[in-house]
Structure 1
C-alpha cells in the first residue's frame, strides 16, 4: 500500500467515524425532542386539571355556603315552632 492509499483509507475511516457520531447525536436529539413534546403535553394537561380543580373548589365553597344558609334557616324555623312538652 502506498502513501495515498493509506491516506485515503484513513480519511474513509474518519468519515465513517464522523458519520457514526452524527448518527448517535441525531438519535439523542430525537430522544430529547420526544421528551420535550411529552413534557409540553403533560404541562397542557396540568393546566387543564388545575383549571378544573379551581372550578371544583369554587363549586364546593358555594355548596358549603348554601348548606350554612340552610342550617341557619333551620335553626330559625325550629325556634319558631313551639316546644311540645
Structure 2
C-alpha cells in the first residue's frame, strides 16, 4: 500500500479497532495481536480504507524503503507499507 506515508507523515495512519498502538504512523513497524479490523488512510487525501478480517489474526506491518546513492550520499525513500496477517484461530 502507498498512501504518501513516508517520513512519519502525521496525516497517513494505520489504526487497529479496539487497540492502542505505540505509533499510528503509516510507515511504522510492529506486530499487533488479536486483530479483527484495521483502518489505513491519509486525512489530507481524504482516504480511509477499512478491512474486516474473517478470523482474528496477528498483524505485522513495516515500511518498504529503497536506498539510492546521490551526490549528497545515500538517500532512503519510502515506497509503501506492507501489512501481513496470519489467522490465530481465536475469537
TM category (shorter chain) comes to under 0.3
Q: Which protein has the larger Cα radius of gyration, Structure 1 or Structure 2?
A: 1
Decide which structure has greater helix share: 1
TM-score by length of 1: 0.16
TM-score by length of 2: 0.15
Higher relative contact order (CA 8 A, sep 6+): 2
